[in-house]
Amino acid sequence: TQLTHVSLTSYCKSQESRELIQRALLDNDFMKHLEHGQILTIMDCMCPTSLSRGCCVIQEGDDGSTVYVLEEGMVEVTKQGKKLCSIGPGKVFGELAILYNCTRTATVTALTDIKLWAIDRPGFQTIMMRTGLIKHSQY
């Protein structure tokens, strides 16, 4: 696929949400190594979603293509039915499947009604690649 031709869509968000997303990305072991411009672009392109308590956000073993930042509420992470942890506002999840090109490593379920920000694989990869291309052309 020609990721350079994927057009990025940005979504309006409050200053509070912009800051929460940036802090969440910088708090994540994988995302924090990105360039500042990439962090800002990912933040701009994240789209709002909400789900009700009990909904499954991510199913272990599925082909995953969305990275999330939790804005409100709590989710639970389980693996083969065993609880790994709960995650609250200001955290990234769902990043491993895209970063490692693997299936979802765990199930994520909403413990409360939740508000999330989401970015899908084409958008995420385009942001990664565009900056890579810009960098490359500087040499």
Closest approach, Cβ 31 to ligand CMP, in A, equals: 11
Closest approach, Cβ 59 to ligand CMP, in A, equals: 9
28 φ, ψ (degrees, to nearest 5): -90, 130
DSSP assigned state of 14: -
For ligand CMP, the closer of residues 7 and 81 by Cβ is: 81
> What is the footprint of ligand CMP within residues 61-80 (CB under 6 A)?
64, 77
CB 70, CB 109: distance < 8 Å: no
Closest approach, Cβ 138 to ligand CMP, in A, equals: 32
Q: Burial of 49 by CB count in 10 Å (0-12 exposed, 13-18 middle, 19+ buried)?
A: middle
Closest approach, Cβ 131 to ligand CMP, in A, equals: 22
Candidates 5-13, 40-48, 96-104, 126-134; binding stretch for ligand CMP (CB under 6 A): 96-104
> What is the footprint of ligand CMP within residues 97-116 (CB under 6 A)?
97, 104-106, 108
- DSSP letters spanning 68-93: EEEEES-EEEEETTEEEEEE-TT-EE
Among 58, 116, 119, 127, binds ligand CMP (CB under 6 A): 58
HSE-up of 7 (CA within 13 Å, CB side)? Answer: 1
Tell me the C-alpha distance between 32 and 122, whole Å.
20
> What is the footprint of ligand CMP within residues 12-51 (CB under 6 A)?
none
Binding site for ligand CMP (CB under 6 A): 58, 64, 77, 84-85, 93-97, 104-106, 108
